[in-house]
A and B are shown apart, each in its own frame.
Chain A
């Protein structure tokens, strides 16, 4: 950390500011990321403690919560002792155990940010925030608005500040009252000029801007996100954080001038003492040490159980017996139970996990769509476009969202007529919730009977610099990459399913967070169809054969979409199936149906309102109803409780009951001895799974600062964000309904491979390496020969010795699923195969 700077460089200051601001884009592109990405260059604990001091937030559970976990044995005694011993030495075990379990810590997190600006209240008795914020937020929101207002911001083709200048010039009224501020605006003044008027002392400028912008991190965050990625708004807007800061400074001067008639001295003149530098180092206290120990103990109490389970489960080498079918799912933790349930119903099927875009990256344009949807992980920039043709689906309209109801005269007619229809709709929606045009349904993403432009006609066939469709070689590359990365290179079944996933919900502004993260927050249906088309293509098969990948002619790929809220699956392009495969498919469909029923029952144990003793069918109907009920704030629990990511063959964990807590990526080290595919997998796992995990972590430990708070009072702002009430700040992060059952533990990635290969692999990509080396994600490697565990610590792998030796086991995991909201222990499933 640098020392106090006296010279102010506005671009450097803003760059630094943007680094720490929330990075969440607009709601339609809700992509999980590490909430504290700005601190990722530090070691995990150092980073979060730093953040805690800066923002005055909680960054872990409270001491009381940890102690409760200890009492219920979810933090295990032996693990706690081991953690203390490893961190501080054996001689400190008793002393620190006593401290973490019984000592009273009077820790109050106080924020460094905000202290300087607090002096407006202290010294000038003026609440600048309540004078400036409401009108600032309203102006911003109106400028960025994507379609709520009827009368849009009148100037829009210029930048934010220029638009305001333009309105100022041509208006009888003004944004400001003070004459001096109007002049400052028109004279294109510098930021430092304004800061000189407001703050005075140059060494405080940076501090002041941080204070000012972190008084509304939500709005500053969205402006920063739009500046960096304008495409996050369909109706693009030019805006920069610089302009936001400028306007806010002007409004602050205006508020001061209005109250004190330009007769006021800058803030620094009245300071009783100089506020300390914001980014000075944090002194580590006993409290910090205690939460570090407890968090480690909490995490390892669980991890140790998982690793013991992996060690103890019988690794049955599956013989080359005939597979009834094979199915590829997304690595998503929600598919963890789906796959187990499928294998439970049909023990001869085989399932795989891979990021849900199935290695086919492209933009997608639905028929009549005016924009493109990116269908691949957010960091990728695809060169391909796939268009939907011959869609027969009609979009229905809903007059309750029509702007006409808000204008005076049509509104008058509507209230007298259709107004009464609302009463009926309300009644109907409460007693018989059904799909409506306002439901976000995963199946609406693509018309399943439409045509897709998957094959490229000629290289000249492009649109906006995107190539329409893939060439044969490009297709073969995608298919080969997919199959090799998951280790599916022989023993192909007759039918191989590629099942994407999506979700359905209503009254849910966060709907995009429920869809597939590997498809940029969209359902994975198009990708599933595309990859199957590629893999079924005879010419592609020929190319694959020439590369040593022989897929039998009778093997057919078929795409599908799993709706994780409703637990329904739709299969696409069934007409392409041969007659025998059609018969097979009809049999398999039955297996899927049973597995989906079981899956919905397994999920239902976390819903208090569903009695798990009801019949399977009834439970399934009730879970379906949740997806269309206006009054259901928890249509599904999404990634809550996620904690693991297993990268390895299915038999590493197929007899473990992991309670939907694990991302599963199929991988076979034997087909990838140098770790070429592993690098690609980990490059995706770290930001995607790690991002999901840490967003849940931070939203859980401090839902007010890092999360969105309860969603019940949320008000939709400009279609890109939610706020509390009408004058509140935007609320990025996850609402409390999504995180309440989550256990905040970091992600443990378990890879089956040789430790030295894994170490070399992660070092190849610096960004990925940072996640692991700074311990924002744990990494354990299972040695393929010795079956010993190796943990990455301080840049090298060392053996991890299990504390727990044996694991509980059940013969039928279905018996575990009684109605209980808590996480279930890792259990071996002793099933007859």
Chain B
């Protein structure tokens, strides 16, 4: 039991370190990096001791049911931690690498503007990482997952006054968001499958899993698929792979641990964690194996043609992770863990020494130059060879694919170009009120119509959020649309099932607070800077750093980040969607994906990017 309680310690240390680091003056480099150093040093030593103790005590699987955050009949949202060999390996590798990189960055980032921001984000990331690897149920994992997503966004956009880092950060965030919603949908179905929130420990009970899946094999497939999508997005497997090289925009050490090693291996972690759940579903195992194989082949062909060092390491890492997927599919769990550790160490180090490649390889070339080295590809017929080369050079059109994926959403959104803030209020406020009235007299509505209402309202919500996603002119319109989207979703679900309005309130509380606050900020900004729009990145964080930070918090609140009850509310909302309402679930899930992207996009367009009046970067544009 004491061993179980100690788990708290490893969550609290990074949290305390992160919170403390927020309050240090950004001029005091020594104290900032010192805080990070002590936090990770403490964690590293304590965890090493714990690990030894754990190993000498027959390494039991530990589970700790922590605070229950919300409880109602048939629904319980609780935080749960567990510890087993998977956590042990991930924690050991993660803590070691983060600790090393913290020390590395102390000197490396010296005098860099954003020194504090860097260490804040690293600590925040590490905190999210710890929660994720210690998580004992999907809900807890989701908390960590969200933190990882947003801290990744902040790290990629570390050079926030330049165009490409911000653009790529947004791109990566969009893909992460797909993963997030995969996770929500997986949680949704597990609730229906078990009629309770289940811990990973319970999943280890094969009979239990088997018993539940026997009559609901389709649900089982669905959950496993969602988990696989989430894992593939996070681990840059097909078709998402092209985000990884583009994430290498931050300072080299952050790229090294996050995108070279820790972050990309979390998809693997998710698969290992849920292994017992899908292990009996052979179709899923085959799918994971095939996905891994396809990724490893394609990614290594892309890696072979890369002529920049970081993208080469990125694609090699992806191809190795593809192999890890195969190992997991084949059931070689331990091998996968060893492979993860080896790959993480190797790629981190390769990225850290990547600037040395010029000295080293130029010297190699100077002494060992051969006019053309023969490669394996020379044995392929010419026409196929050229085609393959060209395909690999173009990353097998993966980037185009991702770009195209958003196109239908953008098109729909642009169809709504006639909307203005005024029209929006005129059109949607009355109709929402009508909706509310309908809800009040719900019983008098014919069932045929009633059944369609949730889908209709969810659709209206979706259309609104698509408009927000493509809005280019009015910042306020973009923002209000996100808030409205949530209200329509709440209305839709209210029609779907009878439940206490307190649950809707729980869901909307965070939205409302964050939404109103954000609106006030935007209003304020608009008065000071009338020309602000969503046309391009405008970099106002340069001029209004505090406002930028508070607005970021508002965005997080609005997107259901685990700082407001909305986070639980989102999960709760889904528990009221029945397992056969695929269309409704699809609309709501898509809304959630897009609303996150849309809010962060508004933040990025206003506060990130080059601040033109100061001419931080013109770069001849």
Contact = CB atoms under 8 A, between A and B. Distances in A.
A235 B358 contact: no
A152 B345 contact: no
A407 B300 contact: yes
B607 to A, nearest CB: 19
Nearest to B382: A170
A726 interface: yes
Contacts of B615: 56, 58, 108-109
Nearest to B299: A408
A408 B249 contact: no
The winner among A139, A141, A716, A728 for most chain B CB atoms within 10 A is A716
A553 interface: no
A705 B253 CA distance: 25
Interface in B598-621: 613, 615-621
Interface stretch (B385-393, B424-432, B437-445): B385-393
A507 B353 contact: yes
Interface in B347-388: 348-350, 352-369, 371-373, 375, 377, 382-387
A147 B365 contact: yes
A144 B387 CA distance: 20
B365 A234 contact: yes
A235 B249 contact: no
A55 interface: yes
Contacts of B346: 400, 405, 414-415, 418-419, 422
Interface in A134-149: 134-135, 138-139, 141-142, 144-149
B350 A715 contact: no
Contacts of A55: 618, 620
Contacts of A27: 358, 362
Contacts of B255: 713
Contacts of B385: 154
Given A108-B615, A142-B307, A725 B342 contact: no
B103 interface: yes
Nearest to B323: A412
The winner among A108, A631, A718 for most chain B CB atoms within 10 A is A631
A724 B363 CA distance: 24
Contacts of B110: 608-609, 633-634
Interface stretch (B73-81, B125-133, B309-317, B415-423): B309-317
Contacts of A392: none
B245 interface: yes
Interface string A729-768: 1000000010010000000000000000000000000000
A347 interface: no
B252 interface: yes
A443 B592 CA distance: 60
B250 A716 contact: no
B306 interface: yes
B581 interface: no
Contact of B362 (A108, A149, A234, A430): A234
Interface in A19-47: 27-28
Nearest to A28: B362
A506 interface: yes
A235 B356 CA distance: 19
A285 to B, nearest CB: 16
Contact of A400 (B96, B353, B358, B365): B353
Interface stretch (A367-375, A492-500, A812-820): A367-375
Given A234-B369, A411-B320, A718-B308, A139 B349 contact: no
Contacts of B384: 172
Given A401-B353, A629-B107, A718-B308, A419 B345 contact: yes
Contacts of A718: 307-308
A830 interface: no
Contacts of A144: 307
A369 B366 contact: yes
B620 A111 contact: yes
B165 interface: yes
Interface string B151-169: 0000000110010110110
A640 to B, nearest CB: 13
Contacts of A113: 620
Given A422-B345, A704-B619, A717-B307, A427 B100 contact: yes
A406 B303 contact: yes
A317 to B, nearest CB: 46
Nearest to B111: A740
B410 interface: no
B559 interface: no
Nearest to B373: A152
A713 B619 contact: no
Contacts of B550: none
Contacts of A586: none
Contact of A408 (B300, B357, B371): B300
Given A419-B341, A632-B107, A145 B307 contact: yes
Interface stretch (A185-193, A432-440, A564-572, A770-778): A432-440
B246 interface: yes
The winner among B308, B339, B621 for most chain A CB atoms within 10 A is B308
Contacts of B387: 171-173
A138 B393 contact: yes
Contacts of A118: 621
Contacts of A704: 616-619
Nearest to B93: A423
Contacts of A729: 619
Contacts of A415: 320, 339, 342-343, 346
Given A719-B361, A725-B164, A139 B369 contact: no
Nearest to A441: B359
Contact of A417 (B108, B249, B342, B355): B342
Interface in A356-388: 366, 368-371
A80 B433 CA distance: 71
Given A109-B615, A408-B319, A415-B343, A506 B366 contact: no
A623 interface: no
A175 interface: yes
Contact of A727 (B109, B164, B316, B392): B164
A171 B382 CA distance: 8
A41 to B, nearest CB: 22
A395 B386 contact: no
Contacts of B165: 713, 724-725
Contact of B304 (A108, A135, A234, A406): A406
Contacts of B207: none
A716 B357 contact: yes
B394 interface: yes
B363 A419 contact: no
A511 B319 CA distance: 32
Given A146-B365, A629-B107, A705 B618 contact: yes
B295 to A, nearest CB: 11
A539 to B, nearest CB: 34
Contact of B162 (A57, A609, A711, A724): A724
B320 A371 contact: no
B165 to A, nearest CB: 7
Contacts of A134: 399
Contacts of B386: 154, 167, 170-171
10 contacts: A111-B620, A148-B361, A173-B387, A371-B369, A415-B320, A415-B346, A419-B343, A509-B358, A719-B357, A719-B361
Interface of A: 27-28, 55-58, 108-109, 111, 113-114, 118, 130, 134-135, 138-139, 141-142, 144-154, 156, 167, 170-175, 214-215, 217, 234-235, 366, 368-371, 395, 398, 400-401, 405-408, 411-412, 414-420, 422-423, 425-427, 430, 437-440, 506-509, 511, 608-609, 629-634, 704-705, 709-719, 723-729, 737, 740
- In the A-B complex, the 8 residue pairs with the closest CB atoms: A419-B342, A438-B356, A145-B307, A422-B349, A712-B251, A415-B342, A419-B346, A171-B386
Given A149-B305, A630-B352, 11 more contacts: A28-B362, A170-B383, A234-B362, A370-B368, A408-B296, A411-B320, A438-B353, A507-B353, A716-B355, A726-B245, A727-B168
